[in-house]
Structure 1
Amino acid sequence: MESTHLGWRPLIRRQWPLACALLFFLASGFLGEVGWWHVPGSVVVCVLAVVAPRRPFDAALSGATAVAASSIVMRVAGVPPMIPMLSGLVLAEVAAVMAIIAIVIRHVASMRAVVGTATLVVVSVVAGVVRPEYRSPYWPDDYTGPGFWAQVVFGAVLLTLSVGTGLYFRARDRERATAVRAEVAAAQHAERMALARELHDVVAHYVTGIVVHAQAAQAVPSAVQEVLPIIVRSGNEALTEMRRLVGTLRGTDGDAPTATSDLADDVRGVVEQSGQPVRLHVDLPVPVPPSLGRSVLRLVQESLTNTRKHAEGLSFVDVSVVVEDGVVHVVVADDGRAQSADPAGGTGGYGLVGMRERVELLGGRFSAGRRAGGGWEMRAALPVAEDR
């Protein structure tokens, strides 16, 4: 469950409440008695807590290192932290360590989560021994600060809160992932059932005609010459319908583009209808069958629809349809960034599922995801099989 490649913008949207809280705790450390020896270490730990979802386990180890280094610096300088909250750690450090523990528990595999949490806890306890003892001038002479057991109980409560928060979000993430997988499986099942129904209703008609005419030819040998052309025509029509069904996958796609004998013009028409800044490249040295061309058009149309719904700050969309070595290569790439909110009307999230199923049923390869330089890219490779 190590965190995925979370971009900086999603990270900021997710972590800004924590960043504001830690900034407040850092500022509160300057109230009353002024000190700064603990500030560099506190800042480092707080920054690590904010960026922890990108690399949770590394953030835990780095946070422990920062606390240890800050403790050694204060020990060498002989300057105690200003108003420590727990075991020599100031308020900002305690809050940051709690946040890192919760994030590690949420995102990291169990064994690594235990190691990361234990490292932070051990270093925090040792910091109380290494750092010089704090004593406020406003304390009575006979007061030495919170007792050992009071700190143990308080620390146990804070650790329980951190671990409990991490486990709660971990369970919620697991439930969400299970729900998404179930919805995707249901969508795939619905796609297959729709395809099966149309195969039975449309193709079975032609197959039944072939069987009937073949039986007639067996019963009346003199009628073979008349029946064979009918069988051939019915077979060709059945093959064409099967290729169309495999190419479209959904029998309910009423808005799917119509393919003609000129795929290049068809692609240009889909691009023009999108109304987006498209840079089109088409290279078709050999003709593409209309049954396959319809799937190519559907891939381009669905990709441009996704770009319009999900991309912000778009300056271009590259659309490439090229035939090489008997394979149609379809590439749609843009330089947009993900929207900060869901598109109007929402999204079912099944567009990529349908495209992948469409390509795989045609014996092709499909991939889609974020580009290294920013934006989104869809790639599909479909083998060309001429209609007979």
Structure 2
Amino acid sequence: MDNGYLGWRVLARRQWPLAAALALLLLFQAVAWRGMDPRMWWLLPGDLIVAVLAVLSPRRPFDAAVAASIAIAGSSLVLHGLGLVQLSGEIVPLAAAMAMSAIVVRQSSRGRAVFGTLALAMAWAITAYLDRQAFAEESLVGGVANVLAILVFTFGLAVGTGLYFRARDRERRQAESASVAAAQQAERLALARELHDVVAHYVTGIVVHSQAAEAIADQNPDAARQVLPIITASGHEALAAMRRLVGTLRGTEGTETSRDNDELTAQIKRTVNQVGGPVRLDVQLSDTVPPELAQSVIRLVQESLTNARKHAAGVSRIDVDVRTADGVVRVRVADDGTGQHSSPVGGSGGFGLVGMRERVELLGGSFNAGPTGGSGWTVVAELPLGG
């Protein structure tokens, strides 16, 4: 679980407060050594090594803790054995050990965290035990009690800090995972809506015109051949729409949006013409429709017409009404079918109405769809212009 991924720039941004604090402690300690035994300066190399290990420890927390433990205990034993200085319970090794304990608890596995913390605590305990001044005025039991009290307080604070940040890291990872999962789900739903709207619309037009041509082929071959250009045009439009959709997914092309109301009106007319059949279109856009709403308006008209041609039986007329009023753009598509939905060629996934409702609700609008009186089917959607 050790985090060795931190780059040097990230490490510098994360560890500069600790580096500054340890540098100040080293400075204060050097000032305190002025006028004392010059041999005290032999402690400086060990302190520098421990301070550097503390600053770099997020890259390899457990290894840094073990190395620092060896450095703290080893330098104390060597210097004490040589009788170069009389140790004085330095604060720099203790501060560095506390920082590394918090880091190893935060980033390492439980076993490594326990071992690393105990190693650091024992190393500093050795340093304190070798400090003869710690027991100069008290008995051995009293001195040991003082050392234990310091260890419990300082390393308890370090371990508690590490556990706190460990819990925060876990919560952040869970929140990030949930956010990524939600974004992926939203992206899948948006992609599903786009695929359903684009593919179903154009393919339905192809199927409807093909069925019409097949029905009249024997009686009127010339009329059947007149339908072929429409089928070809619908196929080209389907391919172009799929290319635009793939380009959008790859980030190389923007989605199909209208720049103004005239272009939106033209796109709605093209959509109606592609579906064909007896459609009465009425577009009245007195307010400017934003591009993101314009795209949704086109998709709503497409899917409503697709549903009417695929499912409604006995349709002789479809009314498409798109208008702006009272701060909303209102889309209404109604047919005069029998109200009994037939089984479309190729089957139906049943996602059309669901996709339209999701699209409208995501934009803060309202959506209703259902039978009209004794016959027919009506889809009504209202999208806020300011949404």
Q: Which TM-score band applies after superposition, normalised by the shorter structure?
A: 0.5 to 0.7
Compared CA separation, residues 188 and 81, structure 1 to 2 (3 A)? farther
Q: State the partner residue of 1:69.
A: 74
Within the alignment, does 1:43 sit opposite 2:48 as a pair? Answer: yes
Instruction: Please identify, of 27-36 and 66-75, the stretch whose mean Cα deviation from structure 2 is larger.
Output: 27-36
Q: Which runs of 5+ in 2 are unaligned?
A: 257-387
**Relative to total residues, which structure has the larger helix share, 1 or 2?**
2
Q: State the partner residue of 1:243.
A: 243
The superposition leaves residues 137-196 of structure 1 with CA deviations (integer Å, 9 ceiling, x where unpaired) of: xx9x75569621122122111111111111111111222222222223333333333333
Aligned residue runs from structure 1 range 116-155, under 5 A: 116-129=116-129, 131=130, 133-135=131-133, 142-143=137-138, 147-155=143-151
Q: State the partner residue of 1:12.
A: 12
Report the CA distance between 1:255 and its aligned residue.
8.7
Q: State the partner residue of 1:158.
A: 154
User: Following the alignment from structure 2 to structure 1, what is the Cα–Cα distance between the partners of residues 214 and 14?
Assistant: 73
User: Following the alignment from structure 1 to structure 2, what is the Cα–Cα distance between the partners of residues 24 and 189?
Assistant: 50
Within the alignment, does 1:211 sit opposite 2:211 as a pair? Answer: no
Compared CA separation, residues 186 and 250, structure 1 to 2 (3 A)? farther
Report the CA distance between 1:101 and its aligned residue.
0.7
The structure number with the bigger radius of gyration is 2
Within the alignment, does 1:180 sit opposite 2:182 as a pair? Answer: no
Tell me the TM-score normalised to structure 1 length.
0.56
Compared CA separation, residues 155 and 80, structure 1 to 2 (3 A)? farther
Aligned residue identity for 2:173 = A
Aligned residue identity for 1:187 = A
| C-alpha contact 2:244 2:255 (8 A) present in aligned 1 | no
Aligned residue runs from structure 1 range 172-321, under 5 A: 172-222=168-218, 223=221, 224-249=224-249
User: Following the alignment from structure 1 to structure 2, what is the Cα–Cα distance between the partners of residues 142 and 184?
Assistant: 62
Compared CA separation, residues 172 and 199, structure 1 to 2 (3 A)? same
What stretches of structure 1 move > 4 A for 4+ residues in a row? 141-146, 253-256
Instruction: Please identify, of 34-43 and 161-170, the stretch whose mean Cα deviation from structure 2 is larger.
Output: 34-43
Secondary structure of the corresponding residue to residue 29 of structure 1 = helix
Aligned residue identity for 2:156 = T
User: Following the alignment from structure 1 to structure 2, what is the Cα–Cα distance between the partners of residues 157 and 51?
Assistant: 24
Report the CA distance between 1:112 and its aligned residue.
2.1
Aligned residue identity for 1:244 = R
Which of 49, 57, 61 is residue 56 of structure 1 equivalent to?
Answer: 61
User: Following the alignment from structure 2 to structure 1, what is the Cα–Cα distance between the partners of residues 63 and 70?
Assistant: 11
Aligned residue identity for 1:44 = I
Instruction: Please identify, of 144-153 and 109-118, the stretch whose mean Cα deviation from structure 2 is larger.
Output: 144-153
Q: State the partner residue of 1:345.
A: none
Aligned residue identity for 1:214 = S
The superposition leaves residues 204-245 of structure 1 with CA deviations (integer Å, 9 ceiling, x where unpaired) of: 221111121222233223345443443343223212212321
Secondary structure of the corresponding residue to residue 3 of structure 1 = coil
User: Following the alignment from structure 1 to structure 2, what is the Cα–Cα distance between the partners of residues 111 and 143?
Assistant: 36
The superposition leaves residues 328-365 of structure 1 with CA deviations (integer Å, 9 ceiling, x where unpaired) of: xxxxxxxxxxxxxxxxxxxxxxxxxxxxxxxxxxxxxx
| C-alpha contact 1:194 1:250 (8 A) present in aligned 2 | no
Report the CA distance between 1:248 and its aligned residue.
0.5
| C-alpha contact 2:128 2:147 (8 A) present in aligned 1 | no
Identity over aligned pairs, percent: 51
| C-alpha contact 1:37 1:81 (8 A) present in aligned 2 | no
Report the CA distance between 1:40 and its aligned residue.
1.5
Aligned residue identity for 1:91 = I
Tell me the TM-score normalised to structure 2 length.
0.57
What RMSD in Å do the two structures reach over aligned CA positions?
Answer: 3.0
Secondary structure of the corresponding residue to residue 54 of structure 1 = coil
Q: State the partner residue of 2:83.
A: 78
| C-alpha contact 2:47 2:92 (8 A) present in aligned 1 | yes
User: Following the alignment from structure 1 to structure 2, what is the Cα–Cα distance between the partners of residues 255 and 230?
Assistant: 25
User: Following the alignment from structure 2 to structure 1, what is the Cα–Cα distance between the partners of residues 209 and 28?
Assistant: 91
